[in-house]
Structure 1
Amino acid sequence: MHRIISPKIQPLINQYIKSPTTIAAIYTQYLRCETRTRNCDNPVNHRFHTRFQVAKPAAMLGGHCVSNAPKLDSSCGAGTVEEFAGLKTYFTGARDSTKAVLLCHDAFGYEVPNLRKLADRIAGHGYLVVVPDFFYGEPCDLSKPGFDVEVWFNTHHPRKGSEDAKKVVAALKAQGVTKIGAAGFCWGGLPVVVLASNPDWIQAGVIFHPVALTEDDMRAVKVPLAIYAPENDEFFPVDELHRLAKIVVEETPAECHHKIYPGTVHGWTTRFNEEDAVACQKAEEAHCDLLDWITKYVK
């Protein structure tokens, strides 16, 4: 094969591709091509589709996923941080409760202040709430010189996080918890869907604008699942929400609820500006829906 890109130009291209906005545009275009190709039975197109899947952007994170980075705070929240199931974990709520809620964070990890405040709020309803650090101290940090989103994502893929989530659930059950609900945000959506494939793991799940999900993941769902999304999200558009929900409704025994939140963008539930009254109201609506769904099935 002939080299079509000059070695002198490649570093500039690599830097451009690492832009979160560019990643979103590339992946959105991929989804469109993937959908068109999947709907064609021509064997030539099938071969192209297979090859295109291999070339799919590994990062699978849109611009909204890693934009509006919150200021992390390791000491925030009313709870405590302890080692649990091999992970540093934020605990809040009654430690002797038989009902627990597992929160799976987004790309910025478990030290996001609004995430911990949400955990504390859920704990106030009688739950033991746990927020593990699935990134082992390495959340997405675009401010680091030379930070590569794709390398980071592959190192901390939500598939791996799913295995860690299973360990957390097992540890909760070992200490007497009998019912568990789980909620995942962006990166954390996949671990929740994986857990939702087994009623012995969790009794209900909630996911917000998830990434890296496959149709097979959705077909495996066996417990009530709520799928919530913002109105404006290049990476997880409204039609993708409807497509995933349709799979659960039509191809699984699980109850499914899905909802679009008008006037919101990716990350509106945990990365909102607390000085913005409208943003707070939008986040509050989603938090109430999350809590209502969990309490309906984990009681």
Structure 2
Amino acid sequence: MADPFLYNTGERSHYGCLGHEVQIDYLKAYVCRPSFSTDKAVIVAHDVFGWQFPDIRYIVDLIAGHGYMEADVVLKYLKEQCGAKKIGIVGFSWGGMAVHHLMLKNPQLAAGVSLYGIVRDSEERYSLLNPTFFIFGEKDHTISLDQIFLLEDKLKQYCKVPYKIKVYPGQVHGFAQLKPEDMKPDDKPYIEEARRDMIDWIKMFV
């Protein structure tokens, strides 16, 4: 089983990255394009450690390799500067919570994947506008199984679009972000499965 997920934010890997940084008005962002032309894009909503953290950039590059332009920036930039016509969103931890919120508010997002986003219970949290996939770790120290079961029950009552909830055995908060060299052998199959599931959901709807 994975250990509790606690980053040492003073450390940075030597991951080289495949994309580049851009300035968009007052924002800086990391953008990665696939090696072929596409009119599809995925926004990556980062966790509390920010868009410059190497593990997030690794995920951005991973998704871009499947044919999606990547940027943790606004829809306008993706449409006007990247030519994106269909846009999805993926988010991790804090970003996963942001995905949940945006999938309730923004119909321009064709699909979303929320990875271990904190579950907040309210009547306004379940009427999703477009397909959304929720990924959780069984041993997450910040999200209890009871919270996940509540989310599932409420979505059954209120949600009118496709959704999916999946809990990965033995996994903790942040498990799907780890780079290959940081994975423990027992956790690697679940990490790879979660990433495949994430990509498959995006491909299905974006």
Q: TM > 0.5 between the two? A: yes
Instruction: Compute the TM-score of the two structures, normalised by the length of structure 1.
Output: 0.60
| Shift, 1:229, TM fit | 0.6
The match for 1:252 is 159
In 1, the alpha carbon distance for the partners of 2:106 and 2:147 equals 25
1:84 alignment partner in structure 2: 24
Looking at secondary structure, tell me which structure has more strand per residue: 2
TM-score w.r.t. the length of structure 2 is 0.85
Larger radius of gyration: 1
Q: Secondary structure at the match of 1:203?
A: strand
State the distance in 2 between where 1:170 and 1:191 align. Answer: 18
Distance 1:271 1:192 in 2: 20
Pairwise CA distance, 1:187:
0.5
Answer yes or no: is 1:224 the counterpart of 2:131.
Answer: yes
Greater RCO between the two (CA within 8 Å, min separation 6)? 2
CA distance in 1, matches of 2:13, 2:25: 22
TM-aligned CA deviation for residue 222 of structure 1? 1.1
For 2:44 and 2:98, the matched residues in 1 are separated by: 10
Supply the distance in 2 between the matched residues of 1:121 and 1:230 (Cα, whole angstroms).
Answer: 20
**For this pair of structures, how many residues does the alignment match?**
199
Residues 173 and 214 (structure 1), Cα distance of their counterparts in 2 relative to 1, 3 Å cut:
farther
Any conservation in 2 of the 1:204–1:297 contact (CA below 8 Å)?
yes
CA 87–74 in structure 1, closer or farther in 2 if over 3 Å, else same: farther
The answer for unaligned runs of 5 or more in structure 1 is: 1-63, 133-167
- Residues 45-124 of structure 1 mapped to structure 2, 5 A cutoff: 67-69=6-8, 71-72=11-12, 76-84=16-24, 86-94=26-34, 97-124=38-65
Given that 1:69 and 1:271 are in contact with CA atoms closer than 8 Å, whether structure 2 keeps it comes out as no
Q: Distance in 2 between matches of 1:197 and 1:84?
A: 25
Computed over aligned residues only, the root mean square deviation of the Cα atoms, in angstroms, reads 2.4
User: Residue 290 of structure 1: which of 175, 192, 198 is its match?
Assistant: 198
Q: Distance in 1 between matches of 2:183 and 2:107?
A: 41
1:274 and 1:280 in contact (8 A); partners too: no
CA offsets 1:12-42 (integer angstroms, 9 cap, x no match):
xxxxxxxxxxxxxxxxxxxxxxxxxxxxxxx
